[in-house]
Amino acid sequence: MDLSRVREELGGEMEIYVINESGVIEYTTYEPDLGLDFRTIPDFYDRLTEIRLGDAFVADRVVTEISTGKLRKYAYMPSPDHRYVFELGLAEPGFREDRTALRYGDAVRELVNLDPAIREIRIFDCLGTLISGEARPDDDRRLEMVRQAYREKTTLEVENATADELVRYIFVDMADSSSPSDMSLVIELTYSTTVAEAKLAGMLGQHMNVLLIAILCIGSLSFLAARSLTRPIRTLVEDVDAVARGDLDRPIRVGGDEEFVQLGESISSMVGSLKETMQRLRESEKEIIRHSHTLEEQVRERTAALEESNRMTTLFLDIMGHDISNANNAANLYAELLLADLDGEPEAEYLRKAKIGLAKSIEIVRNVNTIQHIQGCVQPLLAIDLDGAIRREIEHSPDSRITYAGTTATVLADNLLPEVFANLIGNAKKFGGPAVEITVRVEDRGDEVEVSIEDTGPGIPDAVKPHLFERLTRGPHRAAGTGLGLYICRMLIERYGGSIRVDDRVEGRPEEGVAIHFSLPRGPEE
């Protein structure tokens, strides 16, 4: 499989990957990804399996390449036998520019600046790859939490008393059923517990000093005065203890003298400040999620723009092919008229050469339109009258020496089946010369029907046979061809579930003609 050659024919900008049933890249033009096993990403492997067993062409979003971290736009389609998934990967400099414009880092810095309690914000993708933030020495342990949050699609919290920090892992669901890749993120928020605790401890220490002085003063008073004063102090201590245990909604009851009222109001103010700090933390989390949704929307818009560009390109090719075909047909008609008028004149030879060029141009346009139709439209296979398809093509060659006994078989194909006979019989006529003899045979092979087209032309050397059905391949006697006709035959026959091969008409004597054999699945009997 010469994937490098296919890559060059596609413009040299896209990498090609062939993924087998086990989810392993078996062949590729991009060596770093050879042998990559997608079973390590269960969700993505399940999506690849759906694509392989289906019949649709699936475009992906711009995602990060696993091996190198580069950005690529991928697309997938199944092989006709559903044993492989063909993948195309386009690395465009504009992808990096667009993704950089999303500015994960700017959003993270803005959120950190909003709240002094946040020490650090890091963002991971679904593979556990760090896409924003700095690496840490304990990342092995932290990555286990990241993967758990992604696997369970939830939020996790881990408190590290030694480091005075609280780490929260937030799963942000950005999956899209229309795209194979999962763009979901896990955001790691690291909070400093010392910021809030230090503020609380400072205020509690200050007021506890005041409280201690008050207690000492109360001890010097009379029993009755002490009794009346200790009641609000005891109430105040109970409320402060409740706050220290985390009950920030506990009201601070105040009573007694003015000093106790002021002390209670100060503690209430401290608790209110602490609640505001916690509220800012929650709002910071919401802001991070909002920014994540904004990033996802921008990615969707970029993907939609690329899809619209692909659609306009296809439309342009359709229009161009139609116009060129009409121009070629008109030119060919005028050439026929002029050739009749110039019969016997020296100028007639130039006109005949011009007609050969026009015929080649018409063939190229027809073949390109056929390839575009094959790739752009997946039609259901229907029961096709094989005899009718063969005889219609023979009728287009009334001056050719063609032997055909007929058949009653039906095959599973579509309305492009006549293109196979047009190319194979046309090649035999074109390169065999006016004296070539063509034989069409049909044999019943149980669940399959084998068709053979033999000619007595110059034949094909053994060195050329293995590459005959590859794109743009021509034999030494086929210089006038486009190199697309036999490639189209292979594409169509494999699409129908059959196979095609080339042999010598007389075994061991390639110079005595060619025999092309292909199989088609048998259709239901009427």
Q: Which pLDDT tens digit goes with each residue over 496-509?
A: 999 999 999 999 99
Spatial distance between the Cα atoms of 288 and 121, rounded to a whole number of angstroms: 10
Is the per-residue pLDDT at 225 higher than 60? no
Contact call for residues 457 and 513 (beta carbons, < 8 A): yes
> Which stretches of 383-496 are DSSP H helices?
386-395, 417-432, 485-495
Instruction: Say what percent of the chain tops pLDDT 70.
Output: 67
The mean-pLDDT minimum among 40-44, 266-270, 492-496 falls in 266-270
Return the structure tokens found at 400.
């050719």
Return the structure tokens found at 415.
């309305």
Distances (CA, A) of 92 to 73, 89, 97: 8, 10, 9
Contact call for residues 147 and 124 (beta carbons, < 8 A): no
What is the predicted pLDDT for the residue at 230? 64
Is 474 a member of any domain? yes
The mean-pLDDT minimum among 155-169, 290-304, 334-348, 384-398 falls in 334-348
Domain of residue 480 covers 376-521
Contact call for residues 172 and 186 (beta carbons, < 8 A): yes
Contact call for residues 60 and 181 (beta carbons, < 8 A): yes
Three-state secondary structure call for residue 430: helix
Spatial distance between the Cα atoms of 500 and 520, rounded to a whole number of angstroms: 9
Is 478 a member of any domain? yes
Distances (CA, A) of 174 to 54, 72, 260, 284, 456: 24, 18, 54, 19, 63
The mean-pLDDT minimum among 257-261, 275-279, 428-432, 480-484 falls in 480-484
The whole-chain average pLDDT of the chain stands at 78
Is 9 a member of any domain? yes
Is the per-residue pLDDT at 332 higher than 70? no
Return the structure tokens found at 396.
């287009």
CA count, 13 A, side-chain hemisphere, 450: 12
Is the per-residue pLDDT at 490 higher than 90? yes
What is the predicted pLDDT for the residue at 376? 56
Compute the residue count for the chain.
526
CATH number reported for the structural domain that contains residue 55 in this entry: 3.30.450.20
Contact call for residues 191 and 170 (beta carbons, < 8 A): no
Is 369 a member of any domain? no
Spatial distance between the Cα atoms of 409 and 441, rounded to a whole number of angstroms: 12
Residues contacting residue 203 through CB under 8 Å, at least 6 positions apart: 266, 267, 270
Q: In what order do the strands lie in the sheet with 437-445?
A: 401-404, 437-445, 448-455, 509-521, 500-506
Cα-Cα-Cα-Cα torsion 266, 270, 272, 277, nearest 10 degrees, comes to 160
* pTM (two decimals): 0.39
The mean-pLDDT minimum among 3-17, 300-314, 366-380, 445-459 falls in 366-380
What is the predicted pLDDT for the residue at 193? 75
Is the per-residue pLDDT at 95 higher than 70? no
Same domain, 388 and 510: yes
With 0-12 / 13-18 / 19 or more C-beta atoms within 10 angstroms meaning exposed / middle / buried, residue 305 is exposed
Is the per-residue pLDDT at 428 higher than 80? yes
What is the predicted pLDDT for the residue at 59? 87
Spatial distance between the Cα atoms of 352 and 372, rounded to a whole number of angstroms: 30
Is 33 a member of any domain? yes
Residue found under tokens 């999962």: 182
What is the predicted pLDDT for the residue at 43? 84
Q: Where on the phi/psi map is residue 444: left (φ > 0), alpha (ψ -120 to 50), or beta?
A: beta
Residue found under tokens 């229907």: 382
Confidence of residue 480 (pLDDT cuts 50, 70, 90): very low
Is the per-residue pLDDT at 241 higher than 90? no
Is the per-residue pLDDT at 410 higher than 90? yes
| CA 126 to chain centroid | 15
The mean-pLDDT minimum among 197-206, 317-326, 497-506 falls in 317-326
Spatial distance between the Cα atoms of 234 and 242, rounded to a whole number of angstroms: 13
Is 431 a member of any domain? yes
Closest by CA to 404, choosing from 446, 437, 357, is 437
Q: Which of 248, 277, 306 is the last residue of a domain?
A: 277
Q: 329-335 long-range contacts, Cβ below 8 Å, gap at least 24?
A: 329/362, 331/358, 332/358, 332/359, 332/362
What is the predicted pLDDT for the residue at 518? 97
What is the predicted pLDDT for the residue at 19? 94
Number of domains in the chain: 3
Spatial distance between the Cα atoms of 372 and 318, rounded to a whole number of angstroms: 9
Is the per-residue pLDDT at 420 higher than 60? yes
Q: In what order do the strands lie in the sheet with 130-132?
A: 130-132, 118-124, 185-192, 165-172, 156-160
What is the predicted pLDDT for the residue at 479? 43
What is the predicted pLDDT for the residue at 101? 44
What is the predicted pLDDT for the residue at 394? 92
Is 339 a member of any domain? no
Confidence of residue 297 (pLDDT cuts 50, 70, 90): confident
Is 382 a member of any domain? yes
Spatial distance between the Cα atoms of 164 and 328, rounded to a whole number of angstroms: 80
Residue 470, strand partner residues:
none
Q: Which of 277, 297, 314 is the last residue of a domain?
A: 277
Distances (CA, A) of 425 to 408, 419, 421, 431: 20, 10, 6, 10
Residue 24, strand partner residues:
37
CATH number reported for the structural domain that contains residue 484 in this entry: 3.30.565.10
Confidence of residue 14 (pLDDT cuts 50, 70, 90): confident
Residues contacting residue 459 through CB under 8 Å, at least 6 positions apart: 477, 504, 505, 509, 510, 511, 512, 513, 514
Q: Which of 277, 307, 324 is the last residue of a domain?
A: 277
Strand 410-413 with 156-160, pairing: unpaired
With residue 233 as reference, give the H or E element that holds it. helix 223-244
Same domain, 385 and 273: no
Contact call for residues 33 and 25 (beta carbons, < 8 A): yes
Closest by CA to 438, choosing from 430, 428, 446, is 428
The mean-pLDDT minimum among 43-52, 160-169, 487-496 falls in 160-169
